[in-house]
């Protein structure tokens, strides 16, 4: 019953949140997109999955995307680094999300929880006003505000007691973001209510289900893919095919060739073949959990939303065939289909062994390597802004900075986890090498992503 109430409430809130909201424009060639956030951004993949879509869907439109997430950050921490961290990357588009850390944690168990919440909301409002002033000072940069993923209060787990009403505070913070988006004519994307709704739907079947990795806070890989999906959908990209082919085998006529080119159609003894040059690649969905503490894979997101239907359609239709046919691509057998299925259309993007899908898998793995290196820069940024800036040592990167870090080491468990990375990242030569590694990876990604002519054959069984 509680899950049903949450589901109804989230649907009502979604209507309230999204009424008359400006949607973000699709990214374009040359864009530099910076995603500002907390640990959900730093340790999460949603921005990486978004870029993976653009890498595979628009290989001729090279762009750059950056994580500017730092674990533990609230809005006031982001304010302190907005210029020196986010805008230093010279973004054409900046996305901003906050609320999880701003809303507090154990304070909800106190007797004065209501007073705490009121003070936090006032602090967020003051901070956010200052952030808006900075963002309006950069008219060259489009702003996209993101209503962050929810805190899962309804997950049934006796070992992890939820903070009561924390999610209500998060929704009030998102309300501030919505008001700011309307006031400043900025785009707004809602992660909060769609994730909340999916959680409620799944928990109605299994109360022990959660998208939040087991800590009620951080979305697992499937949750990150859902956020990427909702972002891409808000950009109007749902329904955009990888490619769409329709060939009439009887007269060898090409009836449809959307986002692709078909040539050299042949029909010999009932076996059809043609050359296929697609302008895009299918979207590769990782089946392995990636990242610290992650238990589920990116591909599992397709269980909860029509992800394949909306963003991963590479449709092959062939009319005029009879019997069963083996699909070959570049001489390799893929699968066997009845003529009726081919006439209706098959989705080649669901055949993970195709050469074009494997071409995309290479990009997926290279993008994952890039993400791993970028994480080192975010850990370095945490040390600089969380520890050194207030000491007047921002980017000093010298023995004085290291002495200050060591002096705080025993009292800060998070610093203990970051010091090894900082001992490397403090050297500009190391950072330059990491940047060059990422550049090599991105160059290789866009090289691999370029269209290739494939030979499609349908051999009668």
If one counts every other C-beta atom within 10 angstroms of the C-beta of residue 29, the result is 10
pLDDT of residue 291: 84
Q: What percent of the chain has pLDDT over 70?
A: 96
Same domain? For 67 and 44 the reply is: yes
Q: Which residue in 73, 64, 78, 63 sits closest to 43, CA to CA? A: 73
Q: Is the pLDDT of residue 372 over 90?
A: yes
pLDDT of residue 422: 97
Strands (E), 1-63: 32-37
Task: Please count the structural domains in the chain.
Answer: 3
Q: Is the pLDDT of residue 246 over 70?
A: yes
Same domain? For 320 and 401 the reply is: no
**How far is 315 from 358, CA to CA, in rounded Å?**
17
Give the three-state DSSP class for 179. Answer: helix
Q: Is the pLDDT of residue 17 over 80?
A: no
Mean of the pLDDT values across residues 438-456?
98
End-of-domain residue from the set 212, 234, 256: 234
pLDDT of residue 14: 54
Same domain? For 24 and 56 the reply is: yes
**How far is 256 from 46, CA to CA, in rounded Å?**
33
Which of 64-68, 291-295, 353-357 is predicted least confidently? 291-295
Q: What is the DSSP string of 233-246?
A: HHTT-TT--SEEEE
Same domain? For 342 and 367 the reply is: no
CATH number at residue 27: 3.40.50.1110
Same domain? For 267 and 214 the reply is: no
User: How sure is the predictor about 348, in pLDDT bands with cuts at 50, 70 and 90?
Assistant: very high
Q: What is the DSSP string of 348-397?
A: GGG-TTSHHHHHHHHHHHHHHHHHHHHHHHHHHHHIIIIIIGGGT-TTT-
pLDDT of residue 292: 81
Q: Which residue in 308, 281, 312 sits closest to 454, CA to CA? A: 281
Structure tokens at 2: 């509680």
**How far is 285 from 282, CA to CA, in rounded Å?**
9
Q: Is the pLDDT of residue 338 over 60?
A: yes
B/e letters for 287-317, b = 16+ CB within 10 Å, e = fewer, are eebebeebebbbbbbbebbebbebbbbbbbb
Same domain? For 185 and 305 the reply is: no
Find the radius of gyration of the CA atoms of the chain.
25
Across the chain, what does the average pLDDT equal? 95
User: How sure is the predictor about 400, in pLDDT bands with cuts at 50, 70 and 90?
Assistant: very high
pLDDT of residue 20: 65
**How far is 130 from 458, CA to CA, in rounded Å?**
62
Q: Which residue in 31, 176, 197, 161 sits closest to 103, CA to CA? A: 176
Same domain? For 70 and 128 the reply is: yes
Same domain? For 410 and 429 the reply is: yes
CB of 144 closer than 8 Å to CB of 188: yes
Mean of the pLDDT values across residues 30-57?
98
pLDDT digits (tens, 9 = 90+) for 83-92: 999 999 999 9
Residues 6+ apart with CB under 8 A from 394: 84, 384, 385, 388
Q: Is the pLDDT of residue 120 over 70?
A: yes
pLDDT of residue 16: 54
**How far is 130 from 276, CA to CA, in rounded Å?**
53
Can you give the pTM of this predicted structure? Answer: 0.95
pLDDT digits (tens, 9 = 90+) for 421-438: 999 999 999 999 999 999
- Nearest 5°: the CA angle 132, 138, 143 is 60
> Helices in 36-158 by DSSP H: which ranges?
39-42, 46-57, 75-81, 113-136
Give the three-state DSSP class for 420. Answer: helix
Tokens 């500009």, residue? 428
Beta-bridge partner residues of 269:
none
**How far is 146 from 181, CA to CA, in rounded Å?**
10
Same domain? For 330 and 415 the reply is: no
Residues 6+ apart with CB under 8 A from 427: 397
**How far is 105 from 163, CA to CA, in rounded Å?**
6
pLDDT digits (tens, 9 = 90+) for 249-286: 999 999 999 999 999 999 999 999 999 999 999 999 99
Q: Which domain holds residue 70?
A: 2-234
Same domain? For 119 and 252 the reply is: no
Same domain? For 227 and 324 the reply is: no
Residues 6+ apart with CB under 8 A from 15: none
End-of-domain residue from the set 217, 234, 251: 234
End-of-domain residue from the set 180, 200, 234: 234
Same domain? For 193 and 113 the reply is: yes
**How far is 426 from 441, CA to CA, in rounded Å?**
23
CB of 348 closer than 8 Å to CB of 337: no
**How far is 325 from 315, CA to CA, in rounded Å?**
16
Q: Which residue in 179, 153, 51 sits closest to 100, CA to CA? A: 153
């Amino acid at each position: 019953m509680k899950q049903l109430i949450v589901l109804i409430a989230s649907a009502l809130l979604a209507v309230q949140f999204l009424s008359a909201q400006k949607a973000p424009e699709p990214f374009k060639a040359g864009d530099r997109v910076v995603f500002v956030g907390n640990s959900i951004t730093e340790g999460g993949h949603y921005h990486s999955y978004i870029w993976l879509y653009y890498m595979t869907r628009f290989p001729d439109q090279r762009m750059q995307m950056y994580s500017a997430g730092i674990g533990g950050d609230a809005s006031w921490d982001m304010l302190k680094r907005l210029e020196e961290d986010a805008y230093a990357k010279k973004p054409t588009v900046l996305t901003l999300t906050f609320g999880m850390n701003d809303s507090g944690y154990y304070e909800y168990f106190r007797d004065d929880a209501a007073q705490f919440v009121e003070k936090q909301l006032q602090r967020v409002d003051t901070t956010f006003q200052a952030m808006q002033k900075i963002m309006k000072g950069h008219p060259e940069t489009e702003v996209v505000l993101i209503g962050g993923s929810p805190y899962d209060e309804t997950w049934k787990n006796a070992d992890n007691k939820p903070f009561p009403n924390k999610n209500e505070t998060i929704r009030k913070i998102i309300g501030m973001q919505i008001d700011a988006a309307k006031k400043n004519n900025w785009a707004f994307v809602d992660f909060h209510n769609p994730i909340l709704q999916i959680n409620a739907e799944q928990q109605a079947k299994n109360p022990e289900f959660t998208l939040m990795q087991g800590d009620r806070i951080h979305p697992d890989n499937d949750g990150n893919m859902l956020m990427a999906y909702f972002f891409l959908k808000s950009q109007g990209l749902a329904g955009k095919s990888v490619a769409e082919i329709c060939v009439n085998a009887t007269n060898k006529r090409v009836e449809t060739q959307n986002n692709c080119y078909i040539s050299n159609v042949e029909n010999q003894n009932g076996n059809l073949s043609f050359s296929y040059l697609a302008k895009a690649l299918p979207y590769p969905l990782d089946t392995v959990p990636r990242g610290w503490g992650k238990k589920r894979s990116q591909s599992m997101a397709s269980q909860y939303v029509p992800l394949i239907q909306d963003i991963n359609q590479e449709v092959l239709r062939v009319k005029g065939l009879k019997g069963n046919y083996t699909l070959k691509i570049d001489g390799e057998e893929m699968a066997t289909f009845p003529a009726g299925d081919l006439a209706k259309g098959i989705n080649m993007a669901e055949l993970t062994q195709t050469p074009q899908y494997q071409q995309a898998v290479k990009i997926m793995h290279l993008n994952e390597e890039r993400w791993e290196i970028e994480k080192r820069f975010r850990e370095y940024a945490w040390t600089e802004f969380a520890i050194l800036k207030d000491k007047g040592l921002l980017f000093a990167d010298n023995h004085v900075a290291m002495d200050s870090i060591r002096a705080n080491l025993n009292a800060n468990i998070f610093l203990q986890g970051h010091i090894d990375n900082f001992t490397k990242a403090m050297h500009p030569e190391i950072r330059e090498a990491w940047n060059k590694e990422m550049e090599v990876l991105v160059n290789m990604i866009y090289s691999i992503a370029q269209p290739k002519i494939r030979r499609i054959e349908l051999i009668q069984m």
